[in-house]
Structure 1
C-alpha cells in the first residue's frame, strides 16, 4: 500500500511499527504466530493500514 496523504490531517509522511502482540490462528494458539505491521501518519498518528507480516501461517 502506498499512502500519499493522511485522510485525517493531510500530512504526507508515514512510518511503520509493531506492537509486538503477535497474531495466532484461532485453531492453533500454541503454534506459529506473526507480527502485525502498522502504517501510521507521522503528523497525527492516524493508523492508515494494519497488515500481518507472515499470512502464510494461516493457510490450511
Structure 2
C-alpha cells in the first residue's frame, strides 16, 4: 500500500496528512458508461486518509473507455 504525503493535503475530518490509494476492481464495482450495459467500464481509484478513512478523491482509472 502506497502512503502519500503531500504538504498541502490535510484531512478535513481528522487533520491527518498521510493518504493512500485503493482501487475497486471487481467487475460489479466498475463505473460503466450510461446506456452501455454490456461495457466493462473502468475500475475506480480512491485516495483516502490513512488515519480516519475520509475519501479525498475518487478517480476513474481508464477514462478513455467512455
CA distance in 1, matches of 2:53, 2:59: 17
TM-score (norm 1): 0.82
- Structure 2: which 5+ runs fail to align? 1-5
Unaligned runs of 5+ in 1: none
- For residue 55 of structure 2, the aligned residue among 47, 50, 57 is 47
Determine helix, strand or coil for the equivalent of 1:18.
Answer: strand
| Cα deviation 1:1-60 (Å, max 9, x = unaligned) | x662111111010000123311111111112310010000001110111110011111xx
- Number of corresponding residues: 57
How high is the TM-score relative to the length of structure 2?
0.76
Instruction: Give me the CA root mean square deviation.
Output: 1.5
